[in-house]
Structures are given as structure tokens and as C-alpha cells.
Amino acid sequence: MEGKMKVIIKGQAGEGAQLSEMEIPKVGPKDVLVKVLATSICGTDYHIYSWDEWSQKRIKPPYVMGHEFAGEVVEVGKDVSSIKVGDIISAETHIVCGVCDLCTTGNAHICKDTAILGVDTNGTYAEYVSIPESNAWKNPKGIDPAYLAVQEPLGNAAHTVMAGEIIGKTIAVVGCGPIGIMTVAVAKAVSAAKVIAIEVNEYRLNLAKELGADIVINPLKEDPVKRVLEETNGLGVDVVAEMSGNAIAIQQALKYIKLGGRMSLLGIPTKEVAIDIANDVVFKGITMQGIVGRKMYDTWFQVKGLIESGNLNLEPIITHRLPMEDFEEGFELMKNGNCGKVVLYPTKKILDNYTK
């Protein structure tokens, strides 16, 4: 396919992004070209948009932003066999080598040669995107693409919650941004005994409550350490799902995690975080684990099963739908925290199809 397409580009170092045009990408022999139907704003995208310390070290403009999406395949490379034109797909956004020790032992999600769609390559804030066949996740037809687009971040939530035992456990979800509220929903769906949501933004605390949080705590209004201990008979929570990347929140969580507990960290701190390893990790016997993306493809099948079970409440997660031209409004919503998932549509026609 030839021609120009509309894109949101990170044109240079610094805050912001620009609406622009570029050539529709070509497909390689093992790639598929996808017409984007919906793409959602991720916390990582906001890091890049705001040009924080992490993004300054990682991102190399100019390039097209975005990585969470769903779309229709419109062209396939000559060696593609499992995907055909007309398929509706989402994407596993970690593009891995497939041949290293990690990839061949079930640990492709931490492949040392990973490139991330929309971070290291041109992304999905565009009318079309080219991805490897091996990264395409085939979806049923007839489903709102906004829900298909958020399977990738939903996978992050599922990986964080289910990286250890969770049934019958108490869990604190720290940071209720879009993936945090998904984490609340996943924890409830897989039978956590009590879900405690901790967040400074009242809008997002209300979303967490709507998605099933048993207890909500605003650290600006009360001491989260004291409250969590009160809610757990002084023992602390079995599991901490750290989604905020906030240094103070991480330090507090280490005070209210149960002896022998598990802390799974997905949030990305923008600076180094000082922790008391002796007293808060070693002598408490806790496990701290970094969560990178989704297990390929175990987590995708888990998410598929959760959705099909009917136990997972996705309806409140998507709070805003905008045309791509209004991307700045979407990022402003992210900045203020007055949103769940914000979904962008490349054209008004596609937007109208799903908002009538």
C-alpha cells in the first residue's frame, strides 16, 4: 500500500508531540500492515510526552508514538502464514529475537534484545502500522476495538497480580492509574480475599471502587501504613502490586507488607528509590520482583480466559474516546489523573462507529 498517513510524532527532545504526516510503512516478508481502529494512551506514552528523566535517557526522536492498539490487517508479507487480510488483531508490543537463551526457555518477555513498539520503533498513533506476524494476536470480530486495544495493558495487570499466589490473599494496589484500576479488576476476578486500592486522585479512587476495591485509601488524607495494618489485623498485606513508581509509596508499602509477602513492581520510578534492604526486605523475608510486560504468550491466554469467563469488569475502564487530532486533550487528562483509559481513533468515521 502506498500513500500518506496521519501520525502523532515525537518530533524532538522536549515536552509535547505533533500531528503530522508520513508515508504508509512498507511490510517486510514476515510483517503485516494493520489499519489502526483504536489506540489507547499508556502511562509510558505520558512519560515520553512529558519528557521526564526516564524518557530523556531512552527515547530517540523523531518517531511515531503509541503501542496499545487494535486494527484490521490490510496487507501481509510474502512469508506470513498465520495471519490473513481482514483479520482483527491486537499486538504483543515486545518485539524479541526469538533465538536467545531467554526466548527459547519461556522467558521471551525479558529478552535482552527486546525492541518495544512505539518506544524503540514507530508506533500506533497512526492510521497504519507494520508489525511482525509473530507479534499479532488474532481477535474475534465484532468487538469494540477499544476493548481489544487495552488487552496489552490488561496483560500487564494480569502478569503483576498472577506472578505469585493470589487466591485468598490480601493485596494492596498502589497507584490507580489506568493499569492500576485494571489490576484491581483482575485481583477481584481471580478471587483475592481483600483488595486495597491506594491512590491520591479521588477520581481514580472512585474508579477503583467501581471496579471492586474493598478498601480505598488516599495517602494525602490518612496514613496508608496505619490503615493497611488496621485492615489486616496488624499483619500487613500478602501482596503489593506497585503500579505508581512513586518513591514514597514504595517505601510505605515496604512497611505494611506482610512478613514473607510478595511485592510485584510494574511502576517506573523517574529517579532512584532509597529502600532499607536490611529491615524491609531481608529481615521481613519478602520477595520483590520486577514485572516486565506480559509473558509471551502465557499472559495473553490468561487475559483471554478472564474476559471469556465474564468475571472481569472492563466497562468502567475506558472513560474517554477522542479523535486523534485531540491527542493533547487526552494527555492533559492523563496529567490531571481525571481519566481511566483514553482511547484515540485515527478518523472521526471510526470514532462515530463506536460512540453512536
pLDDT (tens digit per residue) in 213-262: 999 999 999 999 999 999 999 999 999 999 999 999 999 999 999 999 99
Q: Give the integer Cα–Cα distance in Å for 201 and 204.
A: 6
Q: Is the pLDDT confidence value at 102 over 80?
A: yes
- Contact indicator for 176, 241 with CB cutoff of 8 Å: no
Mean pLDDT (the chain) is 96
CATH number of 156-290: 3.40.50.720
Q: Give the integer Cα–Cα distance in Å for 150 and 315.
A: 12
Active site residue 44: yes
This prediction has a pTM of 0.93
- The band of 294, judged by pLDDT with boundaries at 50, 70 and 90, is very high
Q: Angle formed by the axes of helices 178-189 and 298-309, to 10°?
A: 70
Same fold, 4-150+314-353 and 156-290: no
CATH number of 4-150+314-353: 3.90.180.10
* Rg, C-alpha atoms of the chain: 20
Helix (H) or strand (E) holding 334: helix 327-336
Q: Is the pLDDT confidence value at 23 over 80?
A: yes
Top pLDDT among 220 and 354 is at: 220
Residue-wise pLDDT for 51-69, tens only, equals 998 899 999 999 999 999 9
Handedness of CA 27, 32, 37, 43 (dihedral sign): negative
Q: Is the pLDDT confidence value at 94 over 90?
A: yes
Active site residue 47: yes
Q: Give the integer Cα–Cα distance in Å for 72 and 213.
A: 35
Residue of 39, 47, 114, 299 marked catalytic: 47
Q: Are strands 128-132 and 31-40 parallel, antiparallel or unpaired?
A: antiparallel
Residue of 39, 44, 124, 299 marked catalytic: 44
Domain boundaries, the chain: 4-150+314-353, 156-290
- The band of 356, judged by pLDDT with boundaries at 50, 70 and 90, is low
pLDDT, position 350:
85
